Amino acid sequence: MKERWQYCPFCGRELSKMMDEGRERIFCVPEKRFIYDNPVPASTAVVFDDKGRILLVLRNREPGSGRWALPGGFIEIGESPAAAAARELEEETGVRGCDPVLVDVIHEESEFYGTSLVITGYRFEKSSGAPVAGDDADDAAFFELDALPPLAFRSHELLIRKSLRQGS
Ligand SMILES: [Zn+2]
């Protein structure tokens, strides 16, 4: 995994490495503090229409540009995972979701971001509005489950499978 931190985000000085509890961690020598490089949380929305089709977006940004995925994105500071899923859903598809139910929490290594992601999936029991692609999507549409296009991320496949097992 490539190194994400070269300079201390607190004091701006060059970082070193130090062993801590059996792990090599990033360390700021002048400040005598460890810099914890933790996984990055993202949240996704699972929405079915009344025909049991699932809502996907055609991504126009990397990672996964040109491929279909669940609506989703990174959780903002101060935002709950469920609120992030609802926000991304509306931004990317124009669909409003209510009554979020947690499907699963999945860990995925991201080569693109050079770090680990933790991806929460929420199924919205109620939704309104017809899908219209937002700025960071080229298309948004409902798909029959037996005719899904190849998805951009393994984590999204797992979340869809898990939500089907949970029923609706
Ligand atoms: Zn520092």
Residue 167 has pLDDT above 80, yes or no: no
At residue 39, the pLDDT reads 96
Residue 4 banded pLDDT, cuts 50, 70, 90: confident
How many residues make up the chain in this entry?
168
CA 4 to ligand 1 centroid distance, Å:
15
At residue 1, the pLDDT reads 43
pTM for the whole structure: 0.89
Q: Which H/E stretch holds residue 157?
A: helix 154-166
CATH 3.90.79.10: does it fit domain 40-166? yes
| CA atoms of 96 and 122, how far apart (whole Å) | 13
**CA distance to 19, 22, 113, 122, 130, per residue, from 116 (Å):** 20, 19, 8, 20, 33
Model confidence pLDDT, tens digit, residues 119-154:
999 999 999 999 999 988 999 999 999 999 999 999
Model confidence pLDDT, tens digit, residues 29-80:
999 999 988 999 999 999 999 999 999 999 999 999 999 999 999 999 999 9
Residues with CB under 5 A from ligand 1 (ion): 8, 10-11, 28, 31
At residue 62, the pLDDT reads 94
Whether residue 156 contacts residue 69, with contact meaning beta carbons closer than 8 Å, is answered with yes
Tokens representing residue 152 in the block: 């951009």
Share of the chain above pLDDT 70, in %: 97
Residue 113 banded pLDDT, cuts 50, 70, 90: very high
Q: What is the mean pLDDT of residues 6-22?
A: 94
Q: What is the mean pLDDT of residues 82-102?
A: 97
CA 150 to ligand 1 centroid distance, Å:
44
Residue 2 has pLDDT above 60, yes or no: no
CATH 3.90.79.10 domain extents, the chain: 40-166
CA 27 to ligand 1 centroid distance, Å:
8
